Amino acid sequence: MLEIAIGIILGCCALGAGVAMIAGIGPGIGEGNAVAKACEAIGRQPECKGSVTTTMLMGCAVAETTGLYALIIAILLIFVAPNLLVNLLMSVIG
């Protein structure tokens, strides 16, 4: 019975980490779209290259934080949460 409970904990942590990494899709799409629009803007007005590039890089940095947060959550779910949850289960059982 205990082995099944530990298996469920490990499986749910792995599943949660996989779901958290789905959030990596958003920054990739958003950053690609931002770069495409920046290239279009620079193509139309080459004299604004500096300001467009700076704004694009700031936007990409902000968008990337979503992916980094998801990565941190996934790492915590894989390496930290199983140990905490198994220890909690052991303390409840006795």
Model pLDDT, residue 13: 94
Model pLDDT, residue 12: 94
Q: Which residues of the chain fall short of a pLDDT of 50?
A: none
Model pLDDT, residue 63: 86
Q: Looking at this protein, which amino acid is placed at residue 62?
A: V
Classify 45 as helix, strand or coil: coil
Report yes or no on whether pTM surpasses 0.85: no
Residue 73 backbone dihedrals phi, psi, to 5 degrees: -60, -45
Model pLDDT, residue 1: 82
Model pLDDT, residue 36: 93
